[in-house]
Amino acid sequence: MLKVVKFGGSSLADSAQFTKVGNIIKSDARRKFVVPSAPGKRYKGDTKVTDLLYACYAKAEKNSDFSSEFSQIKARYNEIIKGLSLTVSLDDEFAEIEKNFKAHVGSDYAASRGEYLNGILMAAFLGFEFIDARTVIFFNEHGELDAEKTNEILGKKLAETENAVVPGFYGCGADGNIKTFSRGGSDITGSLVARAVHADVYENWTDVSGFLIADPRIVDDPAPIDTITYRELRELSYMGASVLHEDAIFPVRKEGIPVNIRNTNHPDDPGTWIVESTGKKSPFVITGIAGKKGFCSINVDKDMMNSEVGFGRKVLQAFEESNLSFEHMPSGIDTMTVFVDQKAFIPHEQHVISTIHKLANPDTIDIESDLALIAVVGRGMKSMTGTAGRIFSALAHARINIRMIDQGSSELNIIIGVANADFEKAISAIYNIFVITQI
Ligand code: ASP
CA neighbours within 13 Å on the CB side: how many for 313? 3
Alpha carbon of 123 to ligand 1 centroid (Å): 19
Q: List, in sequence order, every residue forming a beta bridge with 419; answer none if it has no partner.
A: 371
Alpha carbon of 380 to ligand 1 centroid (Å): 34
Q: Pocket residues for ligand 1 (CB within 6 Å)?
A: 9, 37-38, 48, 50, 114, 168-169, 183-186
Question: Whole-angstrom Cα distance, residue 374 to residue 98?
Answer: 47
* CA of 180, closest atom in ligand 1: 5
> Which residue of 35, 169, 170, 189 sits with most ligand 1 atoms within 8 Å of its CB, as the best mutation to test the pocket?
169
Of 17, 7, 131, 127, which is closest to residue 76 (Cα–Cα)? 17
Q: Whose CA is nearest to atom 8 of ligand 1?
A: 184
The kind and range of the H/E element at 417 are strand 413-419
The kind and range of the H/E element at 253 are helix 249-255
* CA of 8, closest atom in ligand 1: 7
> Which residue of 50, 51, 205 sits with most ligand 1 atoms within 8 Å of its CB, as the best mutation to test the pocket?
50
Alpha carbon of 117 to ligand 1 centroid (Å): 13
Q: What is the pLDDT of residues 205-215, one digit of tens each?
A: 999 999 999 99
Alpha carbon of 37 to ligand 1 centroid (Å): 6
Question: Whole-angstrom Cα distance, residue 376 to residue 235?
Answer: 9
Q: What is the pLDDT of residues 44-97, one digit of tens each?
A: 999 999 999 999 999 999 999 999 999 999 999 999 999 999 999 999 999 999
Which whole number is the average pLDDT over 16-37? 98
Which whole number is the average pLDDT over 339-350? 96
The answer on pLDDT for 439 being more than 70 is no
CB atoms within 10 A of CB 181: 23
* Per-residue pLDDT at 331: 87
- The least confident of 32-41, 92-101, 324-333 is 324-333
> Which residue of 57, 186, 189 sits with most ligand 1 atoms within 8 Å of its CB, as the best mutation to test the pocket?
186
Q: Whose CA is nearest to atom 5 of ligand 1?
A: 184
Q: Which positions ≥6 away from 49 have C-beta within 8 Å?
A: 9, 38, 39, 40, 73, 76, 114, 118
CB atoms within 10 A of CB 331: 15
The kind and range of the H/E element at 364 are strand 364-377
Rounded (5°) CA angle 395-222-284: 70
Q: What is the pLDDT of residues 268-318, one digit of tens each?
A: 999 999 999 888 877 888 999 999 999 999 999 999 887 889 999 999 999
Alpha carbon of 131 to ligand 1 centroid (Å): 18
* CA of 187, closest atom in ligand 1: 8
> Which residue of 6, 12, 108, 115 sits with most ligand 1 atoms within 8 Å of its CB, as the best mutation to test the pocket?
115
What are phi and psi for residue 417, nearest 5 degrees? -105, 130
List domains and CATH numbers for the chain.
3-207 (3.40.1160.10), 288-436 (3.30.2130.10)
Alpha carbon of 63 to ligand 1 centroid (Å): 26
Question: Whole-angstrom Cα distance, residue 269 to residue 359?
Answer: 57
> Which residue of 48, 108, 181, 193 sits with most ligand 1 atoms within 8 Å of its CB, as the best mutation to test the pocket?
48
* Per-residue pLDDT at 299: 95
* CA of 169, closest atom in ligand 1: 5
Alpha carbon of 171 to ligand 1 centroid (Å): 13
Average pLDDT across the chain, whole number = 94
The answer on pLDDT for 32 being more than 70 is yes
Let me know if 150 is exposed, middle or buried by CB neighbors in 10 A (0-12, 13-18, 19+): buried
Question: Whole-angstrom Cα distance, residue 427 to residue 376?
Answer: 9
Residues across the chain? 439
Q: What is the pLDDT of residues 119-142, one digit of tens each?
A: 999 999 999 999 999 999 999 999
Q: What is the pLDDT of residues 138-185, one digit of tens each?
A: 999 999 999 999 999 999 999 999 999 999 999 999 999 999 999 999
* CA of 51, closest atom in ligand 1: 4
Share of the chain above pLDDT 70, in %: 100
pTM of the entire structure?
A: 0.88
Residue 196 has what DSSP assignment? Answer: H
Alpha carbon of 40 to ligand 1 centroid (Å): 8
Query: What sign results for the dihedral spanned by CA atoms 196, 202, 207, 212?
Result: positive
